[in-house]
Every structure is written in structure tokens, then in C-alpha cells.
Amino acid sequence: MRVLPTKWRPQQHQEPVLGHDTGVDILVGGVGSGKSDVGAFKFLRWVFQHPRRKDGRPTQGLILGKDFRNAGDSQFLKLREQVARLDLPAGRVIVKELGPGLDHPPTLFFSNGVRVCAFTGKDTNATRSYEADFLWADEAEEMDALSFVTALGRLRSAEAVRAIATSNPAGGGWIYPMLAGDYPEWDEIREANDVRFFRWASRQNKFNDPKVMRTLRAAYRATSPGLELQELGGRFLGTAEAPGSQILQYVRAFVGKVALKPGRERAVVVGADLGKSEDFVWLTAANVAGVVLAQDRFNMTEVDVSEDAYWPFVADRLIQFAVTWGASRINLDLARGGDQFAAMLRGILQARKIAIEVVGVDTSSPGKRTDLLEALSMAIGMGRWTVPTAWELEGQSAVSVAHVETLRVEFKRLQKRMHGSQARYAHPTGGHDDGIVSNALAWNGLATRPTPQRPRVMPASKVSPQRRIRRSY
């Protein structure tokens, strides 16, 4: 393998990433840990060392950022910085650069014929018409998981998979499930590719000024006890590795894959939070032991129905969800028109002769929403509510639970505001808490459902011999 003629030398913690030419490298690090430098260097090395495909055509590189600005500005800048460190005139390496246009993305043209294009990681279809031979995704945690997977699929005609993803752990939540090993949907990617994970702390970069690092550390500690572990330690806040400061207890709920006792694979209650365009419908099915068996999440932008047909569609999907999982009770949020929806739902169930009870919970009444969320938090703390990534019965295949990581991120971003002595919980601007409310409604339905009456058994001393004989059969 040819050596890149560069003046840049990796630090000790960066060297292992450069020891492999193929596969998928996932670098998660604190701010200033040097992950983007390594990402740019490894990508540039692919540009130099793999300029031609087997058929002689020039190879193509794909840059994926959390948005166009990150990809076309920040990542291109990192590439140009690495080019400036080469023992070659910069003009003889990058011969042409195009900004974004109507018919092309931001593009770099290299002297050896390699073309590199930049795309946003927020548009899952952005890269579908592009064919690539190597990929660098930066701020990968901030982009959609499907965008990264779609971009990875652009390497389908390459001679080998060559991809590197660099990120801080503060984003939307797909890297942790990939590396944790508890999420079955990521198993195939790890099994089909040589996937390697690297975790770096900011202190490992010897070029970081100690005084600046101390200032940042103090600022993060003052903001949140767990934020330092995330921003400087490269740890995922809100997981078992960095619980951090929790507005509500939730970390203990996320338990990975679990085994269920026979009969526990059926739900007893479904919690339903409603949404249309900005918010989401979120359905949570839980069994008698407080284990979440399934979740569904959607809104009007994701389903092919007209606006007039949307709520009847939601009712049908909710009923099908409850019937599929065997629930006998639906706990439904009555806020913002939910009472009208509940009336429609009861009418449909009665017409179809489906014996499912609909219980309304008005989260708009004073203090009710707070009470629901704090009750869920207490149940989690007591180990009575769990959200596995998958569950299985002995001898059967595992069943994945959808939207688990989305729920964890909702908990992580939840905000607490005090109004006098009353606490109120809200999601940040642009965020959501539909999953939290749905889980809280499901727990409320489980905790308040009537307890089945057990038949009274008389002590043996008070039972006549004749009755004892009859009971023994």
C-alpha cells in the first residue's frame, strides 16, 4: 500500500483507525478529540490509494454531513487542510471545486480523476442516484439513521466497503444502538461488514489547551452533572454508561433483550398518545409485568391518507394494534380533541363487537400530565416498567421492539420547568415527548386496571371431610 506523502502524523490514540483499509469505522469522541482530522485523513488516503476501479474508471468519494453546510463547508475544509499538509502543491491535488448548484451537489475534483460530492444526512433520498467507492460521514449522530444506511448502500458496486463515521455522542440516537449489541436490527450490518468502534475522550488529544479544557469541563458540570461525560468523554448521556442528570428516571427502563415467561407475550393495555402533523401518534403495548412488547409511531406526513380520512385511519390502526397484541384496555389521551376521538373509537369497537375498554385520561387538566410522567418515573425506578430492545420466548425467534432509541432520546431531552411549586415537563422546541406520554398512559392503564378477584379458599380445618374429598378431584 502506497504511503501518503504528508507531514501530518497521527497521535497514539488515532493510529488504530488507520491500521485498516476496508470495513466500517465508527469514531465517537468528545469535542476536540481529533476525530474529524482522522476522518479527513483516511478519506484522503482512499482518494490517493484507490483512484481507479477495476474497469479503469475513476473512483468517486461521498461526503455526508448532518446538513449541506457541514458537508460542503466543514468537511471540505478538513480535506483542504489535509491537502495543505502534503508534500505536494495544493493546486496539483484539488484541481477544481464547485459549489452547490441546481444540477449538482458541492463537488471537489482531484488531479487523479477522483470526484468527491457532498450531501446532507437529513434527506434519505439525497444520495440514491450517486454511486460511490468510499464514504465519510461526519456528525453522524445528528443525521437520520436511514440516510447513513442509504449512503452506505451507494458503495454497492465498490471493490470493498470503505466507510468512516465520526461523531460526538450528542445527537439523535442511532450510533449507540449499533454499537451496544442489544438492538437486533443492527446485527446484520455488523455481521456482514467489518465494523469497528473507537471511543475517545477530549483529553487524549495532546494539542488541546489544558486551560481551555478546564473551562469547558467546569461549564459542562455547572450545566448538567452528566454533560461532561458526553461532551468531553465521548459517552452517551442517558444510557447505563453515563446516566447523567435525569429529569425523570428512565435509564433503568432500557434493558436490552429480555426473556419472557410463557403467557407474557400478550399485552393487557395499550397507551395511545395522539398527533397529526407536528406531533406523532405513539402506541405502546405492555404486558402484565410492565414490559413493553411493541410500539408504533406515525403521523399524517408518513401515511398515505387524506386529511379527512386521517382520524378514522388512526382508529383502525389503533384497534388493529390492540387486537394484534391481545390488549383488553386502551388508555387514551383526551387532550386537544381526544375526547371526540375516544367517542368515535368506542363506536367502532361496539359496531365490530370487539371487547376492548377505552379509558380516557385528560392530560390537559391541571397537574395530570405531571402526575402521569412522575408515576412512570417511579415505576421505572422500582423496576416495574421496562422497555427492551427485543424479547423472546424460549425456543422462539426474538421480537424487536420498534422506536426504543427514539424514546430514550425523548427522555434525554425532556425539560423540567417550575411554576411556583408545581413542576411541568416539556419537550424542547422542535422535539417530541409523544413516546414518554404514551408509555405513561400505558403504565397508568396497567396500574389502575381492576385486579382480578381470586376465588376464596377456606382453610382445610374448616372444610368438612366430604367437601375435602370433592375438592381433591
Domains 16-200 and 251-448 share a fold: no
Alpha helices in 50-173 (DSSP H): 68-69, 76-84, 145-153
- If we measure between CA atoms, which residue out of 158, 46, 28, 173 comes closest to residue 112? 46
Average pLDDT of span 43-68 = 93
Q: For residue 131, give Cα distances in angstroms to 161, 363, 453.
A: 13, 50, 64
Instruction: Write down the number of H helices and E strands in the chain.
Output: 14, 18
Are the C-beta atoms of residues 314 and 297 closer than 8 Å to each other? no
User: Beta 329-333 vs 269-273: how paired, if at all?
Assistant: parallel
Answer whether residue 13 shows pLDDT above 90: yes
pLDDT of residue 172: 67
344-403 pLDDT, tens digit each: 999 999 999 999 999 999 988 888 889 999 999 999 999 999 999 999 998 888 999 999
Q: How far is CA 57 from CA 98, 132, 133, 135, 256, in A?
A: 21, 12, 11, 18, 45
CATH class of 16-200: alpha beta
Q: C-alpha grid cell for residue 466?
A: 366430604
The arithmetic mean of pLDDT across residues 19-29, rounded, is 94
Cell numbers 378477584: residue: 453
> Structural domain boundaries of the chain?
16-200, 206-244, 251-448
pLDDT of residue 226: 74
Cell numbers for 428: 424542547
Report the run of H or E that residue 415 belongs to, with start and end.
strand 415-419
Query: What pLDDT, on the 0 to 100 scale, is given for residue 472?
Result: 32
Whole-number Å distance between alpha carbons of 331 and 311: 17
Is residue 229 within 8 A of residue 249, CB to CB? The reply is no
The strand pairing partners of 136, in sequence order, are 63, 164
Q: What is the mean pLDDT of residues 318-324?
A: 97
CA angle 82, 85, 88 (to 5 degrees): 110
For β-strands 115-120 and 107-110, DSSP reports them as antiparallel
The architecture of the domain spanning 251-448 is 2-Layer Sandwich (3.30)
Q: Which three cell numbers stand for residue 275?
A: 398527533
pLDDT in tens, 279-310: 999 999 999 999 999 999 999 999 999 999 99
